[in-house]
Amino acid sequence: MKKILSIIIPYYNTQKYTNELLSVLDAQMSEDIEVILVDDGSPEPFKTSFPWLKIIRQDHAGSSTARNAGLDAAAGEYIAFIDSDDLVSKDYLQNIKDQAQKGADYIELTWKSLTTSGMQFNCKVTNTEPLRNPSVCTRVFKRSFIGTLRFNVKKDIAEDEDFTRHLDLSRGKRDFISSYMYYYRTDRVNSKSKEYRRGLSKTKRIVYYVPVVDPERVELLEEIRELDKQHEVILFCNENHIPELSRYCQISKPFRIWAHELRGEPCWMVEIMKQPLKTQVLIYIDTLSGYDGIFTFIHNFCLQMRDYYDIAVLHDNLGARQINRLRPLVRVVKSGEYPVIICDTLLMMRIRAEIPKDIQYKQLYQVVHCTHDVTRELIRNPEQCVFVSETSQQSFNTDKGRVIYNLSNPEKPQKKLILISTTRIGARDKGNQEKWMLRLAQQLHDQQINFIWLYFSENKLIGAPDNMIRVDPVPDVRDYLRHADYLVHLSENEAYCYSITEALSMGVPVIALDIPVLQELGFKDKKNGYILRDDMDCKKLLSVPRFKAFHITDDERAVSSWCNLLGDSVPLHDYTPEARVMVKVIDTYKDMELDRVLSPGEVLDMWRDRAEHLKELKLVEILEG
């Protein structure tokens, strides 16, 4: 029998809604109607009990490709499109067949929202009120009117608007049905429109604001014609003297709208949506206490690997000094700054941290900086773990994953002091290090050895003598370490001690407790330092061991290991560190980065964006740039 109407349903993983739709159609079916469901590569192939339903299955390629497959297979005189998660009225088929007898080129359907949540629509079509939306689902087209036109497969959204615009409805005979025919579901989660708005689709919305389009603007026509091949283009103007533009974009006077990009003149009615951040490697750290070993890992990794990969560091609450040390190397992004971050590889810095919800990654590795204890359990597959030492790996009782030692810092350091510790006073994972620090200080005092001991820590060591001086943590202690006689590190537990490896790499001897990782780090008692004991003769410390500086890490081998792990890729190198400028203080204020009060007349340098902010507050004036 000749088919009056072919209905095309592009389908992807909406079984629940589609079954409801098919049940509504089933009660209306007749032999002069065909329904074609194109399964766009759903994980579970669509199955049906309705004998009248024709199913075409294809590899996942998007709704445009699915609709085109349906068009190529359709035999009906008229073509209707229904989205698989929407509904139609109980007299949908009969009303269309009755109206089709009048021979119109296309029929517009009255429609409204199916649900009460989300945006609400109620589009009543009359003889004087045609449809304003571009959806193909709320129109029925004569097959001969469509001809050879097909949906643009380069667009993964706004393909409806593209299809109806290129169809040029103004050339056809219009008819309409004023009763409600189509019901659009507005409460779907993770819909294409939400992904589109967040900038995750190939297609972007580009808005032009050109108040008057002169007929000589040929370059504008060519630019929009090219963009229309993949993107949704909207032109705001008051006068348009190039009629051909209507084939390649929507044209209207300005109204409130969001866009991914605005071109032409500024327009306050256009809200620009921030685009996703794309990078090859993303390092995630929630927060850090001072300059601990994890920060050293992050800094040295960025320093050595930035020539091989585009890297960004995502954080919840890093300090200003930590951020300022990383910014000359890589992008530093605070959580929530971008709607989505897309990366090839995600490196998690803490073993119990949750993966932020707005990160999309191809592969994930957990960097394990600690040893196993009652508070530290691996929540991810050990095969995804990169351990910073064999000691760390073995403590979790696994031979899975891999060991890659921390990269070193090849930058030339500067010098200062005598006795130095860099630690976190009060950190439970370090054991009772405070006891050992006080004990060594007492031994040195009892054996009448003069010393100055600078310990870099946010917290004060209670009971320390006057010649033990607390210093706020600094980004790089090697400036001071170079002049030190010893690095004193008295932690009772470490997975990988970065301060010890930094000292040994500079030829600075170490005083430490006999912890398991020492031997792995290359430390040898009485050769490049001393193991601290209760009955230690501290006078031998006066003969400072001299030895050839060495690195535990073979940087070339470590870089190669990371490259093998992360895979081949070509960095864009599109990050340019912001300039620093000189400023002069013009009003007294408390500077949060320097943590001190600045007085009028002081001159200092800072990042340009911060200088501009303080200038707006009338606290400084910019002297350069």
109's enclosing H/E stretch is strand 106-113
Residue 228, pLDDT score: 92
Tokens for 372?
Answer: 């196993």
In this structure, CATH architecture of domain 5-188: Alpha-Beta Complex (3.90)
Give the number of other CB atoms < 10 A from CB of residue 370: 21
pLDDT at 416 over 70: no
pLDDT at 290: 67
Q: Are 273 and 199 in contact (CB under 8 A)?
A: yes
Q: pLDDT tens, 297-309? A: 999 999 999 999 9
Q: Which pLDDT score is estimated for 118? A: 64
For position 415, what pLDDT does the model report? 43
pLDDT attached to residue 524: 93
Mean pLDDT, the chain, integer: 90
Q: What is the DSSP letter of 278?
A: E
The first and second tokens of residue 424, run together, are: 């976190």
**Among 183, 178, 75, CA closest to 120:** 183
Residue 433's H or E segment, with its range, is helix 433-446
Residue 248 CA to residue 257 CA, distance in Å, equals 19
**Beta strands in 288-351, from DSSP E residues, in sequence order:** 311-317, 331-334, 341-348
Per-residue pLDDT at 363: 96
Strand 311-317 and strand 87-88: the pairing is unpaired
* Nearest-angstrom CA–CA distance, 101 and 111: 22
In this structure, what DSSP letter does residue 246 have?
A: G
Q: What gap in Å lies between CA 463 and CA 450, rounded to an integer?
A: 18
The C-alpha atoms of residue 539 and residue 544 are separated, in whole angstroms, by: 10
Q: What is the pLDDT of residue 291?
A: 66
pLDDT digits (tens, 9 = 90+) for 302-359: 999 999 999 999 999 998 889 988 999 999 999 988 889 999 999 999 999 999 988 9
Q: How many Å apart are CA 160 and CA 250, to the nearest integer?
A: 12
DSSP 274: P
Flag whether pLDDT at 191 surpasses 70: no
- Would you place residue 31 in the very low, low, confident or very high pLDDT band (cuts 50, 70, 90)? very high
pLDDT over 70 percentage in the chain: 97
Contact 447, 420 (CB under 8 A): no
φ and ψ at residue 390, rounded to 5 degrees: -65, -35
Task: Please give the CATH number for the structural domain made up of 419-552.
Answer: 3.40.50.2000
Do residues 400 and 383 make contact, with C-beta atoms less than 8 angstroms apart?
Answer: yes
- Its sign, for the CA torsion 436, 442, 448, 452, is positive
- Label residue 417 by pLDDT band (50, 70, 90): low
Q: What is the pLDDT of residue 115?
A: 76
How many residues comprise the chain? 625
Orientation of helix 498-505 relative to helix 293-305, angle to 10°: 60
Taking 80 as the threshold, does the pLDDT of residue 454 lie above it? yes
Q: What digits encode the pLDDT tens for the residues 587-616? A: 999 998 888 899 999 999 999 989 999 999
Is the per-residue pLDDT at 509 higher than 80? yes
Is residue 173 pLDDT above 80, yes or no? Answer: yes
Q: What percent of the chain has pLDDT over 90?
A: 65
pLDDT at 388 over 50: yes
Sorted by sequence, the CB contacts under 8 Å of residue 441 that are 6+ apart come out as 451, 453, 464, 465, 468
Strands 589-591 and 468-471: unpaired
Where residue 189 falls among pLDDT bands split at 50, 70, 90? low
318: alpha, beta or left, given left = phi > 0 and alpha = psi -120 to 50? beta
DSSP state of 619: S
- Give the DSSP letter string of 148-186: T----TT-SSSHHHHHHHHHTGGGS-EEEEEEEEEEE--
pLDDT at 578: 83
For the record, the structure tokens of 328 come out as: 């000359």
How far apart, in whole angstroms, are the C-alpha atoms of residue 292 and residue 42? 47
Supply the pTM of this predicted model.
0.60
pLDDT digits (tens, 9 = 90+) for 65-85: 999 999 999 999 999 999 999
Residue 170: band (very low, low, confident or very high) from pLDDT cuts 50, 70, 90: confident
Identify the top-confidence range among 45-54, 193-202, 282-291, 543-552: 45-54
- Rounded distance, CA 547 to CA 452, Å? 23
At residue 132, the pLDDT reads 80
Structure tokens at 22: 């098919």
- Dihedral pair phi/psi, residue 555, rounded to 5°: -60, -40
What is the predicted pLDDT for the residue at 374?
72
How large is the average pLDDT for residues 91-115? 93
